Each structure stands twice: as C-alpha cells, then as structure tokens.
Structure 1
Amino acid sequence: MTTLETPGPTVGVVGGGQLGRMLAEAASPLGVDLIVLDPTPDCPAATVARDQIVADFDDEEGIRELADRSDVLTFEIELADQTVLERVGEETGTPVHPKPATLETIHDKLVQKRELADAGVPVPPFREVEDADDVRDAIDDVRDAIDDYGAPVMLKARTGGYDGRGNVPVESKADAEDALESVAGPAMVEAFVDFEREVSVIAVKGDGELATFPLGENVHEDEILRETIVPARSGETATERAYEVARDVLSVMEGRGVYGIELFETGEGEILLNEIAPRPHNSGHWTIEGAQSSQFEQHVRAVLGWPLGSTELRSPTALANLLADVEETRNARLRNVDRVLETPGAHLHWYGKREARPGRKMGHVTVSGRDDDATVEELLEIARDVEDAVTFRD
C-alpha cells in the first residue's frame, strides 16, 4: 500500500461554482490543493482554491494547462466536455474521475435512461420525441403503459439541462407545442410519477470501495430543490431498496467519485430512478454538518484513490436552500444573517456569487439535531423559519 503524505497532491476541477468552492474547503484540511477552471473571472471557488484558470468548460488549451498542473482531473458541472477531457487525460497521463465515458452517458438523458433500463435499473416509462405529435402520442402511450398515469407527463431536454432546468410538465395534449418550444432542442418524455416522496442517495465509488450516505428526503418547487431532511421518512423496506438501486446505478458508472442519485418512492414503496449527477449534489450538502465526513471530502478522497471516510450520520439534519428572493438581478447582499447565527444548531453556507438573480441558489442553511429527541420535522421547521427570515431585498 502506498504511504500517503500531507501536503498532498493537486486536484484539477472543471467548474468553479459553489460545488468547486465546497470541494476546496474540504480538500484544504487534507493538505490537498485545488485548481479550478471556469469562464467567470473570480468565480465562487476562486477565493478558496489555490488558483483559477479562466477558460470555457470545453477549452482544450485551458483543460490541458489544468491537467499539467494537477495530479488528477475531475468536474463539478455536467457542461464539462467529455471528448476534450478524455483526449487531454490520455495525452498528458493525468487520470480523469469519474471517467469521461460516464459523463458522456449522463450528458444525454435518453441515452442515460436506455443504458440504465438495459442494466435492470427501474426507471419510469420514457420515450424519445421529435415533434409535438410525438409528445401527444407519448401521453397516450404512457396511459396505456400505466393505468393511473397519463397527462401530465414530464418533457425533458436530453442535453444541457441540469438542476431542474430543461424539465417542463405537460398538463395536456394542447400544451405539447409550447412545451417543446420551451425545451428548444432534442427531448424525451417521461411518465410523471405519482410519488410518495422524492429521495436521494449520495453514493461514493472509491478504489475498490463503495459507500452510501443515509437516505435523504427532498422537497422540490418548480423543479428546484428547496429542502432536504435526513434521515428520510421512508420505511425500512423502501430505504433498503433505494440503496440496492443506487448500487445498481454505480455498477453502470465508470470511474471514482461521488454520485448524486435522485429517486422516486411511490405509495406502494416502489423505487424508481429519476436522474443521476456524477458529482457532489445539492441534496448531499447536509453531509457537511450531518455526517462523519462530507460528500466533498469523500469526492476528493475518491478521485485521488485514497481510502474513503465514514458516511455515518452524526445527527438528524434539515437543509433549506437560500434562493434569491428578488424580482430582477442585483448585487448579492444577504440581510438578517444574525437570525442564522443566533439559532442553535444552524449553519450558514454562502456560495460567493456576486449577483442575486431571481430564484438563483445563493447558499444554504443546515440545522442539525441539538439533542437526541429532535425530530426531522422539528429541524425542518427551524430551517424554514431561518430561511424565511433572511432576504436579499432591501
């Protein structure tokens, strides 16, 4: 076994948003440096990473410089170019994790669903669509496939959409054309699942190791993640099934790292895959305070081939995202921060974004169990109260 030393190696990250920022925060105590590549000068990760290369996510010259200065490459955004990453990795000898092949699968949601379905992973009924007639036919197909489904269905952009973007509910056949225009590109239709709850497994693929964090329960509004509570209020059977599905998903993915696996839990306890992110995920931010080691530390360990840390729960935890409550773009300034700081068990995470745009994720608040009797419902109420108190408005 290789003896590890600190200060350690350098990890090059394509993307310098909030995920890159939190990766750098987690890497620093391990003696690991981060260099990020991002087209936005002074991006959110720049203040905590060792350096930033200002270049587009598909800029081969910039990614080659990143590889030359790093011991391993990874990414924190799906807009990274898999072809460029693969070529640069091969030519420079710098390993890339997760593998570019996994990124290629993830980039196209239709390809993703087909590969996972072929591997036996349970997914909602889906089909490719090219025009409004296809969308209308898909509604009929879904009705035939599952008696209780039908309209609405979810129209999804096959590429480019992430974090809820590019997902449009189609309420009726009359809405097909407008929905397709809003997606503006290759699309697929998926059955709208009448779920009991949305859950997620943050899973880690290491060097011969697999690990999963406790199951999280998520609340979305307008396709944007607003809240997460851990542990999820799922029964034992559904929870174990969620872990089984997550492990099946990992068997399809290539390369080390953290994978955010979003799932639907139906009223009958069935678990269906929603989407996969081959990177740390918003629904795993709770791990910073709530778990023995965070998803960000785990990602750094995994891509380097280091031993993984413990994923055990420290205490029940609730998370509330801080979205910019403004009507137009303005300088980012969060007010009433004292409400977070004076609340026992509450933790503020600021993402370092300079502009507050309507609905933009600017940070998050977690509230961890302050005693053994605290329930996730009580913690969620505290998180909501704190989130309601802070504002980006004057």
Structure 2
Amino acid sequence: MLIRSAIDFNIEVAILDPNPEAPCKENAAEFEVGDLNDFDTVYNFGAKHDLITIEIEQVNTKALQKLSDEGKKVFPQPHIIEMIQDKRIQKQFYKDNGIPTAEFILTENLEEIEANADFLPAVNKIGKGGYDGRGVQVMRTKEDISKGFDAPGLLEKLIDFEKEISVIVARNEDGAIKAFPPVELVFHPEANLVEYLLAPAQIREDITDKAVEIATNLAKKLEIVGLLAVEMFVTKNGEVLVNEIAPRTHNSGHQSIESNMTSQFEQQLRAILNWPLGDTSLFISSAMINLLGEEGHTGVAVCKGFKEVLDIPGCHLHLYGKKMTRPFRKMGHVTVRDKDMEQLIKKIDFVKKTIKFVSDEQ
C-alpha cells in the first residue's frame, strides 16, 4: 500500500523482507530477501539507498543507527524504534513525560509477578517480541499467574474502559504535525487483534480533542519523523489513557485510503521526505474490517464471498496477496463507506458474515 502511494510521486521503493514470496515483491522496484534482525543484512541493504524506513518494529536498530550516523536518512529515528521495541521502556517514557497511561509495575520473571499478586487484576505484557496480540496475558485472579511470562515484562493495571481508540499523527523534519481523526477499535474476542474499526470514533467532541492532544504531544516529545499510531483507552469516567504506540503505518489507518483526504501511506511519504503534510480530514464515515484466516484452516488460501461483498455500494476490497492462510492471519481488509452510521453498521455485519478465507485442502 505504501508502494502504491509512492508510485504517484515517481518514487522507487526497494524492499528488504525475510519472505521470498512477500506480496510486495511484484510491486517493488528492487526486492531483497534477508533477515531484518541481522546487522550486516540490514546495514548492507540500507547503505545502497537514499532513505530508509520501516513497516515493522522488529528490525536491527544498531544497523539503522550506524546508517544514520554515516549520514543516511533513517526515519523513524533508530533510537525511537529501539525504545518502542521494549514495552517496559515505552511505559517508563510515558510516566517520565507526563503521558497519561495505566498504572504499571516492571517485572523480571514469573516469580516477581507472583510477588505482586495484590496488583491484580492486571495485564502481563512481555517486554520484547510481542506483536499483533501475542505476548499479552490477562490476569484477573491468582490462578491466572501461571499463564504469565517468565521473562522481563510488566504488569499493567486492568482498565475498565468504555472504548479503545487510535489516533495516527504525522511529523516531518521541520516539526510540522498533523493528526488523523480518532478511530474506534473493536477487537476479536479470541485473537486479541482488531476485527474492525469505525471512523470517526463514536466519542464526545471533548474526548476527541483530548485524544488528538495526547497523540500530538507524544509525537512532539519523541521528536519522531514519520507516523506514530497511538492506541488509547477511553475510560467510563472520560479519561484517555495511552495503551501502546507504533512508529509506522498502522492497521488502524487502512481505511484512510478511501475515506480521508490524504491516506496514511501518502502521509508517511510526505513526513519522511520533509514535504508539506496532507489534509487528514475525513470526508465520509467509514469502517475497516480485517479479513482473518478462518479457524481450522491452514494451507493454500481461498477467498470466498468476495463477489457478494463487491456488490455492496461503498465497499472496497484489499487483498494482500498472501498465498497461505492460517487461523487469524491477516489476509486483507475491506473498507466500507456510508454517510449513515446505521447503514454502515449493517454493512460491517454483512461483510463479517460473508467473506471468508479458507484453505483449499479443507
């Protein structure tokens, strides 16, 4: 999706990816297979190019820092990526900089979690390596402690929230900042990843203003160049608390391709190239539904029901070109647009029931 935006500006994109069959392979000007965590691989790839950016945080930041030290443009900055790679350091940054977030305790192992049993109910998050819902364990009672991570992590107070929202904010080298309107996230009950989102979030105007202010403040404090996705809880008493951040284009911004004046992908390019940032306003209400691999299906992917979805006015299908499916793997998304929120909800329900990713062997 970033490459498609880059084509509009005659920008050639080279890709380093560990998967030789990565969907972007056919669209990239150059494509190289390599381990994103290997110093030499990342450094040698970056040394050949003018500007380096990421679409996943799990990358060798030491190599990126060396490239930056040698004068290469690397955005977001390597020290920011490194900080966000560790949820412990990330949470401490919020606390040190007055960013509202849930109360937390840093833990080194399962023994320390047990020693803080009186802090429950809480969420145990592993410090490094968690992604797309992995590395997160809810602990409501002492009996849940055995499910925790025997590794450096944190206990975060379980928040009785009303909604989960996300704000994507962009900042360029000149310090210009623009935020996208908040979107509302609805999570899959089992997979712990976003099932669908609503844009705009169905929240009060003062909550919207507060969320945008927090996201903007975070981008300023980090002095990030690029995009920053800020996931937040809205509590039942109107507090807005930062949950986690991602320094890249984000799943909570995919609907912007069809529903905002500027997509998050174009905005990412504008930010890292130090161009004027685009208009982020929403011109129509929309939803984004993640298309996940069906439970019980692993193998060559088959998409069923997409023709029926394409027959709905305002629906746009994005398939990611992944040849193999497995349970809860993100295989694509559908953006649905409608001026009427009630009709939009009906379209979401239809898409969820209709389109399925299954394997051809099962």
* 2:169 alignment counterpart: 203
1:284 Cα deviation (Å)? 0.8
Query: Within the alignment, does 1:383 sit opposite 2:352 as a pair?
Result: no
1:90 Cα deviation (Å)? 2.1
Query: Within the alignment, does 1:217 sit opposite 2:181 as a pair?
Result: no
Query: Within the alignment, does 1:157 sit opposite 2:126 as a pair?
Result: yes
* 2:61 alignment counterpart: 82
- Unmatched runs of 5 consecutive residues or more in structure 2: none
Of 45, 69, 73 in structure 2, the residue corresponding to residue 95 of structure 1 is 73
Q: Is the 8 A contact 1:135 1:173 kept in 2?
A: no
- Unmatched runs of 5 consecutive residues or more in structure 1: 1-21, 142-149
- TM, length-normalised to structure 1: 0.87
1:335 Cα deviation (Å)? 1.6
SS of equivalent to 1:378: helix
After the TM superposition, which residues 174-213 of structure 1 pair with which residues of structure 2 at under 5 Å, given as runs?
174-180=143-149, 185-207=151-173, 208-213=175-180
After the TM superposition, which residues 21-100 of structure 1 pair with which residues of structure 2 at under 5 Å, given as runs?
22-91=1-70, 93-100=71-78
Residue type of the partner of 1:131?
Answer: N
Q: Is the 8 A contact 1:365 1:387 kept in 2?
A: no
1:241 Cα deviation (Å)? 0.7
Q: Is the 8 A contact 1:129 1:187 kept in 2?
A: yes
* 1:112 alignment counterpart: 90
1:135 Cα deviation (Å)? 1.9
- Distance (whole Å) between structure 2 residues aligned to residue 206 and residue 340 of structure 1: 38
Q: Is the 8 A contact 2:110 2:151 kept in 1?
A: no
1:210 Cα deviation (Å)? 0.2
1:64 Cα deviation (Å)? 3.2
Q: Is the 8 A contact 1:217 1:229 kept in 2?
A: yes
* 1:233 alignment counterpart: 202
SS of equivalent to 1:332: strand
Query: Within the alignment, does 1:293 sit opposite 2:262 as a pair?
Result: yes
Q: Is the 8 A contact 1:320 1:384 kept in 2?
A: no
SS of equivalent to 1:308: coil
Residue type of the partner of 2:263?
Answer: S
Q: Is the 8 A contact 1:63 1:88 kept in 2?
A: no
Q: Is the 8 A contact 2:107 2:153 kept in 1?
A: yes
Matched-pair identity in %: 37
Return structure 1 stretches of 4+ with deviation > 6 angstroms.
Answer: none
Of 118, 126, 136 in structure 1, the residue corresponding to residue 104 of structure 2 is 126
1:32 Cα deviation (Å)? 1.1
What is the root-mean-square deviation of aligned Cα atoms in Å? 1.5
Residue type of the partner of 1:217?
Answer: E
- Distance (whole Å) between structure 2 residues aligned to residue 112 and residue 268 of structure 1: 25
Q: Is the 8 A contact 2:286 2:335 kept in 1?
A: yes
Residue type of the partner of 1:30?
Answer: F
Q: Is the 8 A contact 1:326 1:392 kept in 2?
A: no
SS of equivalent to 1:334: strand
Q: Is the 8 A contact 1:213 1:312 kept in 2?
A: yes
* 2:273 alignment counterpart: 304
Alpha-carbon distance change, 287 to 378 in structure 1, aligned in 2, over 3 angstroms: same
1:133 Cα deviation (Å)? 4.0
SS of equivalent to 2:328: coil
Query: Within the alignment, does 1:313 sit opposite 2:278 as a pair?
Result: no
1:179 Cα deviation (Å)? 2.3
Aligned residues: 356
User: Which moves more between the two structures, 60-69 or 293-302?
Assistant: 60-69
SS of equivalent to 1:228: strand
SS of equivalent to 1:75: coil
Q: Is the 8 A contact 1:318 1:383 kept in 2?
A: yes
- TM, length-normalised to structure 2: 0.94
User: Which moves more between the two structures, 118-127 or 381-390?
Assistant: 381-390
* 1:13 alignment counterpart: none
SS of equivalent to 2:123: strand
SS of equivalent to 1:302: helix
* 1:19 alignment counterpart: none
What CA deviation, in whole Å up to 9, does each residue of 1:78-113 have, x standing for no partner? 10111111012323x211001001011101101111
Residue type of the partner of 2:72?
Answer: T
